[in-house]
Amino acid sequence: MKNGLILACIILGLGGDLYAQATAPVETTVCDVVKKPQAFNGQIVRIKGTVVAGFDEFVIKDSTDSNCGYPVNAIWLAYPPGTKGKAGPAAMLTIEPARNFTGKYTPATRAAVTLDKSKDFKQFDSLLAQKHEKGADMCLGCTRYEVTATLVGRMDSVADATLQRDASGKIVGFGGFGNMNAFPARLVLESVSDVTPKEIDYSKNDDETKGGATTGGNGADMYGAGAGCGGGGCVGGGAGNGLDLNGAIAAAQKNADKLAAGPPKDAATRAAAVYGKPNDHSTGVSVAYGAGNEASPKDEDLGIKDSPDGVLFNCTFNQDRVQGDSLARAVIHMGEHISELRSPVTGNEGAPAYILESDAWVVTAVSAVVGGQQFLSLPGGYVIWDSSWPVDQRNDKMASTLKDFLINEAILSQ
């Protein structure tokens, strides 16, 4: 009846104001959406927020209070299909039902969004795509700017972003959006305005890592690791262009082999193994290269491939931001996510994103150590590994840095 009345008013030439009121964006905040995400599902909203393009993040945090007090304190950001924007995460993992998925699954139906590729948008996208390139260390996913702006777009949301499992732990239902499907809300961008960049301060990071080399250190004193690869030759032939996936996987496997027996070695070995052998297409794990910044309807459909457990794990690596040895680090990071989500240890089936990210960064750092890196830094300039740290302080320093990073940069809560 309502649609009929609107149509009649339009025909009579009286519907302009009514139609504008019906489609006017809902004014809200990031924290309001995070608090009750499903209340905004399908609505066009306007949000003032700060956008961060990190290692496995492309998110909007609240511009006044980034800690909303929830497990995930941000909204995933995406562009409409075909945008071809430059900004986005350096790497990400999404999970979808495989073609042979046996559970019930109904793909979402969403209204199309058309992006206004205005001067503001081009500035916004360009700023978020700029890398921090000072210093000699490997800074994974480190971008030069974060950007505060007014964002308008379609909000997609779910009440619970947790993957649903049956009694055996098998995934039978899917969660939210973005990396690991861990975000309960996603904004598909329609327009951006009031763009205000803020250059991220890496001065402390750059001072600490000044004069260092990406590889060539020795990780023998941490986690029982053997000597590092040295010389930057860990990734294998062709890695210099950032596209040698098999070389990166081989490097991750080789680094895992160097660890002494124990939980870190077990985790690193499992993480490297999820990709299978070269040309093995039966693992249910797929890899693509790109910016990972678009919300395509096909990503929420049933997959076109089968998987051993009926679930597909899709990794996307941005070749402009992970190259050479950094691709090996990204591979092991995403591999740890896949390993923990596909085969969680008993009692850890519903682990929050904070724990999953913490575990992945530990495995990534350990890989860097045995890979011979002198330093490893995270977005925002958090030095998670420095080979000059005293041996008896290394674990504590890594743990403290990682906690600060996850709360302040990744915007996650325990």
Question: What are the DSSP E strand ranges found in 106-184?
Answer: 138-139, 145-157, 164-165, 171-173
Q: Looking at the domain assignment, is residue 210 inside a domain? A: no
What is the CA angle 88-96-252, rounded to 5?
65
CB atoms within 10 A of CB 158: 19
Nearest to 290 by CA among 88, 1, 33, 9: 88
Q: Looking at the domain assignment, is residue 399 inside a domain? A: no
Nearest to 52 by CA among 410, 358, 317: 410
Res 16: pLDDT: 41
Contact 328, 356 (CB under 8 A): no
Q: Looking at the domain assignment, is residue 104 inside a domain? A: yes
Tokens at 8, concatenated = 């009649």
* Beta-strand relationship, 285-289 and 311-317: parallel
3-state helix, strand, coil in the chain (%, to 5): 30, 20, 45
CA 155 to chain centre: 19
Res 281: pLDDT: 85
What is the CA angle 284-288-289, rounded to 5?
160
Nearest to 271 by CA among 356, 385, 378: 356
Q: Looking at the domain assignment, is residue 287 inside a domain? A: no
Res 348: pLDDT: 86
Q: Looking at the domain assignment, is residue 349 inside a domain? A: no
For residue 154, what are the domain limits?
24-199
Give the three-state DSSP class for 92: strand
Tokens at 92, concatenated = 């990400």
Q: Report the chain (414 residues): mean pLDDT per 10 consecutive residues.
A: 40 39 83 96 97 97 91 97 97 96 90 97 98 83 97 96 90 93 98 98 90 44 35 31 76 92 94 91 92 92 94 95 90 97 89 96 94 93 94 95 96 92
Res 119: pLDDT: 98
Res 239: pLDDT: 35
Give the three-state DSSP class for 220: coil
Q: Looking at the domain assignment, is residue 189 inside a domain? A: yes
Res 243: pLDDT: 59
Contact 379, 55 (CB under 8 A): yes
Q: Which residues contact residue 12 at a Cβ distance below 8 angstroms, ignoring those fewer than 6 apart?
A: none
* Beta-strand relationship, 26-28 and 44-53: parallel
Res 222: pLDDT: 37
Res 187: pLDDT: 98
Res 210: pLDDT: 82
Res 212: pLDDT: 57
Rounded to whole angstroms, the Cα distance separating 144 from 127 reads 8
Sign, CA torsion 279/267/57/233: negative
CA 300 to chain centre: 17
Give the total number of structural domains in the chain: 1
Q: Looking at the domain assignment, is residue 345 inside a domain? A: no
Q: Looking at the domain assignment, is residue 291 inside a domain? A: no
Instruction: Indicate the helix (H) or strand (E) that contains 50.
Output: strand 44-53
